[in-house]
Structure 1
């Protein structure tokens, strides 16, 4: 294995005898070394093998702009997530999550915080990914002495969710089907209320995101069960029209929604139809 490109003292692009490329990291792996030199394999700590060419090229560009310690940190988070979730993640997670966490640390240094508007949904519907996000905050704090807010656990969870969804072998078919369902549901809401929805509003964006998560759960045959229908009964009375609209959507989907799913869908309908 020889050095093809040096990013910094601790990160290089290496090439093996079969001309396969790898991003390799290790303390001092490129110190006083040159392109064409043999890689000191005993110094290798982490190896990135990205099979998707586009993801690999973007990752190389990322290495030129982001501190090596951030890349190494995200590698550990992703490996931890793979072990906990027991699934393969799309190669782009190495690009998107690394870029996100590095920028989140930059904002933290500047005293800025990005609230996550979907935090309650992520906590409820993606508990495993959210727990990994919380663990990631511990990893980050351990390495940087910076404790990022809980919202960032939600953001990390979103990256993990997307990396799993985008791994689907039927991605094109799924997206096509989901897009049609999404449009049909939006039409049900529009015709029930006889209004034009404000597609630029925050509530519209939240509604769309909720539906996309909902479709993912349908694909995985996941159902959210509720231990208490008290809130749903209150919502039925308080948001009667939104609840009736939700029932139309349930009928269109030809499935029986759990109380929890009915509750959140009704609340989203109520929000997206308010001026």
Structure 2
């Protein structure tokens, strides 16, 4: 493995025998070294292989400004998240989360608060990601001796959610907006029916999952597979209250939904209100 660039004593860019570019970290790995020299591979502690070129370039820029201990902590958080969620995360998470945590700690050191107005919704709709966020706060406290507030667990969770469903850079604000809309849609359903939804029911869980993917489709302008027109008319007539509720949601979203989206939203509303 050959050194291409040295950021500091603990972080370098290298190229391996397969001609892949890697960011490599380890205590003293770049100390008294120069580009073109071989790496002492026994010093390697963490290796970043970012397949997206744009993410790789931004990550390298980040390393020039952010202390390596922050990068190392975020690496551990991301690896932990991958294992717990059992899913792939977009490469940009290494950029966005590292940058976020670095700035969050700077604000913490300056005595500034960064409250998360969606903390309740995140706990409710994304419990796995929020628990990982809480674990991340433990990592930070163990390594840096800084106890960040639980609101930061919510912010970290948003980055993890974003890394699962978005392929573009810096879209955490979209996830926050979607989370608020899900909350508002649930309120529309409860207000229409005058009920409290059973958050432990399978129907509720399926409805939340449907809404999460529903917003992804809207953002990507994707369409569900076309449904039989007869089925749509039958559901519209049979579940009139659920259909009327769906129309309120369509009005709230200020967008014209396809018959397919209308059908599935109506069916989910019907199920979640009958459990």
Tell me how far apart the structure 2 counterparts of residues 260 and 101 of structure 1 sit (CA, whole Å). Answer: 38
Match of 2:32?
A: 32
1:218 to 210, 213, 224: 210
User: What SS does structure 2 have at the residue aligned with 1:255?
Assistant: helix
Match of 1:57?
A: 57
The answer to whether the Cα contact below 8 Å between 1:90 and 1:163 also exists between their aligned partners in 2 is: yes
The alpha carbon displacement at 1:16 in A equals 1.7
- Cα deviation digits, residues 136-188 of structure 1 (max 9, x gap): 00000000110001100000000000000125xxx9xxxxxxxxxxxxxxxxx
1:48 correspondence with 2:48: yes
Which 10-residue stretch deviates more, 30-39 or 209-218? 209-218
Tell me how far apart the structure 2 counterparts of residues 207 and 259 of structure 1 sit (CA, whole Å). Answer: 25
Match of 2:235?
A: none
CA distance 1:67–1:258, change in 2 (3 Å): farther
- Cα deviation digits, residues 203-241 of structure 1 (max 9, x gap): xx976543368897216789xxxxxxxxxxxxxxxxxxx
CA distance 1:206–1:34, change in 2 (3 Å): closer
Tell me how far apart the structure 2 counterparts of residues 58 and 212 of structure 1 sit (CA, whole Å). Answer: 32
Match of 1:248?
A: 247
TM-score (norm 1): 0.68
- Cα deviation digits, residues 4-49 of structure 1 (max 9, x gap): 0000000000012332100000000011111111011000000000
Match of 2:137?
A: 137
Which 10-residue stretch deviates more, 72-81 or 208-217? 208-217
Match of 2:98?
A: 98
Paired residues in the alignment total: 206
The answer to whether the Cα contact below 8 Å between 1:3 and 1:14 also exists between their aligned partners in 2 is: yes
Which 10-residue stretch deviates more, 107-116 or 10-19? 10-19
Pairing of 1:6-17 with structure 2 (within 5 A)? 6-17=6-17
Tell me how far apart the structure 1 counterparts of residues 244 and 106 of structure 2 sit (CA, whole Å). Answer: 44
CA distance 1:46–1:216, change in 2 (3 Å): farther
CA distance 1:66–1:218, change in 2 (3 Å): same
CA distance 1:212–1:91, change in 2 (3 Å): farther
The answer to whether the Cα contact below 8 Å between 1:250 and 1:257 also exists between their aligned partners in 2 is: no
Tell me how far apart the structure 2 counterparts of residues 77 and 121 of structure 1 sit (CA, whole Å). Answer: 22
The answer to whether the Cα contact below 8 Å between 2:3 and 2:34 also exists between their aligned partners in 1 is: yes
Tell me how far apart the structure 1 counterparts of residues 244 and 100 of structure 2 sit (CA, whole Å). Answer: 37
Which 10-residue stretch deviates more, 247-256 or 62-71? 247-256
Pairing of 1:146-185 with structure 2 (within 5 A)? 146-166=146-166
Tell me how far apart the structure 2 counterparts of residues 153 and 57 of structure 1 sit (CA, whole Å). Answer: 27
Match of 2:4?
A: 4
Tell me how far apart the structure 2 counterparts of residues 71 and 153 of structure 1 sit (CA, whole Å). Answer: 17
Tell me how far apart the structure 1 counterparts of residues 266 and 243 of structure 2 sit (CA, whole Å). Answer: 15
Tell me how far apart the structure 2 counterparts of residues 39 and 17 of structure 1 sit (CA, whole Å). Answer: 12
